């Protein structure tokens, strides 16, 4: 089974369906408070619109693409668009000061463009140059730009104000954008066709992910929202998101520890509890006298007192204890 990381624009254009990769980030992300969703009404309406568009157009195209295109050709098409994506990945690497990773991604692009025949073959993978996932939305997060409220965009899917603005940066890093703007009608038609193939190829690779969403989610909208937000946080912080200081479980643990410490404190020597006399002692319930011989048993022999040496006051000065 091939491993595919689609172009960032098409990845978020189909963001409502990219859940399989999101689940890998969820397992390492600490539990956080539920995200506030002030635009939920709009988001759910657009979510339903995107779902209808996918069921009516994208999914049938993807199924026909899967049936018509052999797997080697499908993999080659995936590799070509992945190679184009490496240009933007490399630029975002350097914008985030990831110079070593940027050098690896630049080398990956050069090797696949030349030895891999414009990316048809992923030669870089054979020499252990991994595929990274960086986009301009992650770069904005690296520089401290907040993501803003969760929102769903028509035809794009799960997003946020920061990620929506990041789409513009990704478009500027994509050479197909300039071909479309400055190449004339033929170039525009070719670019549109390439984008359509990229979207269809990406959607066909997400069939299994959609099945996971349908089987694992009770509320599809909430499932996609939480998975997307956690995945983006995971990517922005490179798998090490900040710890949540407001964890109620940690607070409960601290409170219980403090309480147990208070309740387990030893009683003072001067607090002697006197027994309460029992008026029925020596008699049963019918008033019959009961003879208690337990007090006449010979006392048990006790071991002589052993002197206790307190060494605690010598821990700091490290001197020998008093004999």
DSSP, residue by residue, 132-188: P---HHHHHHHTT----S-EEETTTEEE-HHHHHHHHHHHHT-HHHHHHHHSHHHHH
- Is there a domain that residue 76 lies in? yes
Residue 133: inside a domain, yes or no?
yes
283 versus 69: the higher-pLDDT residue is 69
Mean pLDDT across the chain: 76
- pLDDT for the residue 192: 86
Residue 249 belongs to some domain of the structure: no
CA distance 283 to 163: 85
Residue 131 confidence (pLDDT) above 90? yes
Instruction: Look at 100 and 30; give whichever has higher pLDDT.
Output: 100
**Per the domain annotation, does 247 fall within a domain?**
no
Best-predicted range by mean pLDDT (3-17, 22-36, 183-197, 227-241)? 227-241
Partners of residue 152 on adjacent β-strands: 158
Q: Report the greatest alpha carbon distance in the chain.
A: 118
Please name the residue that has the structure tokens 């940066």. Answer: 169
- Domain that residue 179 falls in: 8-236
Q: Residue 280: what pLDDT?
A: 52
What pLDDT score does 186 carry?
Answer: 80
Residue 125 predicted with pLDDT over 50: yes
d(CA 170, CA 134): 10
**Using CB atoms within 10 A of its CB, is residue 301 exposed (0-12), middle (13-18) or buried (19+)?**
exposed
Note the pLDDT of residue 289: 59
Q: What integer pLDDT is reported at residue 277 of this predicted model?
A: 55
Given this model, what pLDDT does residue 128 score?
A: 92
Is residue 13 one of the residues assigned to a domain? yes
Examine the pLDDT at 27 and tell me if it is beyond 50.
no
Closest CA to 51 of 158, 167, 201, 165: 158
Decide which of 296 and 69 is more confident.
69
Q: With pLDDT > 90 as the criterion, what percentage of the chain qualifies?
A: 48
Q: Examine the pLDDT at 18 and tell me if it is beyond 80.
A: no
Mean pLDDT of 143-156: 95
Q: Does 48 reside within a domain?
A: yes
Per-residue pLDDT at 278 = 55
Statement: residue 205 has pLDDT above 90: no
pLDDT at 194: 86
Query: Is it the case that residue 73 has pLDDT exceeding 80?
Result: yes
For residue 101, pLDDT over 90 is answered with yes
User: What is the token pair recorded at 139?
Assistant: 């770069």
In a domain, residue 115? The reply is yes
How many CB atoms lie under 10 A from the CB of residue 69? 17
Is 291 within a domain?
no
Q: Which of 144-153, 197-206, 242-251 has the highest mean pLDDT?
A: 144-153
Residue 193, pLDDT above cutoff 90: no
Say whether pLDDT at 169 is over 50: yes
Structural domains in the chain (count) = 1
Whether 275 has a pLDDT exceeding 80, the answer reads no
pLDDT > 70? residue 248 = no
Q: What is the pLDDT of residue 283?
A: 52
151-153/157-159 β-pairing: antiparallel
Residue 106 pLDDT: 97
Per-residue pLDDT, averaged over 124-142, amounts to 95
pLDDT at 249: 47
């Amino acid at each position: 089974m091939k491993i595919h990381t689609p172009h960032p624009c098409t990845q978020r254009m189909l963001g409502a369906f990219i859940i399989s990769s999101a689940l890998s980030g969820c397992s390492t992300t600490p539990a956080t408070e539920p995200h506030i969703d002030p635009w939920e009404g709009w988001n759910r309406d657009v979510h339903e619109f995107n779902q209808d568009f996918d069921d009516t157009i994208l999914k049938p195209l993807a199924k026909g693409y899967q049936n018509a295109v052999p797997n080697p050709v499908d993999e080659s098409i995936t590799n070509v668009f992945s190679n184009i994506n490496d240009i933007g990945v490399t630029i975002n690497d350097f914008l985030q000061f990831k110079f070593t990773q940027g050098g690896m991604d630049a080398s990956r692009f050069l090797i696949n463009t030349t030895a891999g025949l414009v990316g048809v073959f992923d030669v870089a993978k054979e020499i252990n140059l991994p595929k990274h996932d960086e986009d301009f939305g992650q770069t904005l997060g690296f520089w401290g730009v907040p993501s803003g409220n969760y929102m769903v965009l028509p035809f794009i899917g799960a997003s946020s104000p920061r990620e929506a603005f990041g789409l513009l940066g990704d478009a500027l890093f994509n050479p197909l954008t300039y071909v479309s703007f400055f190449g004339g009608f033929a170039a525009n038609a070719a670019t549109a066709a390439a984008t359509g193939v990229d979207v269809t190829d990406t959607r066909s690779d997400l069939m299994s992910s959609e099945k996971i969403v349908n089987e694992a989610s009770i509320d599809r909208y909430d499932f996609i929202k939480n998975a997307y937000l956690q995945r983006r946080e995971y990517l922005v912080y490179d798998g090490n998101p900040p710890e949540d200081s407001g964890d109620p479980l940690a607070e409960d643990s601290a409170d219980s520890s403090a309480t147990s410490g208070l309740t387990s404190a030893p009683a003072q020597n001067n607090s002697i509890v006197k027994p309460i006399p029992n008026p029925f002692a020596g008699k049963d319930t019918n008033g019959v006298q009961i003879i208690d011989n337990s007090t006449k048993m010979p006392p048990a022999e006790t071991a002589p007192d052993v002197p206790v040496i307190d060494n605690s006051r010598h821990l700091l000065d490290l001197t020998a204890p008093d004999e």
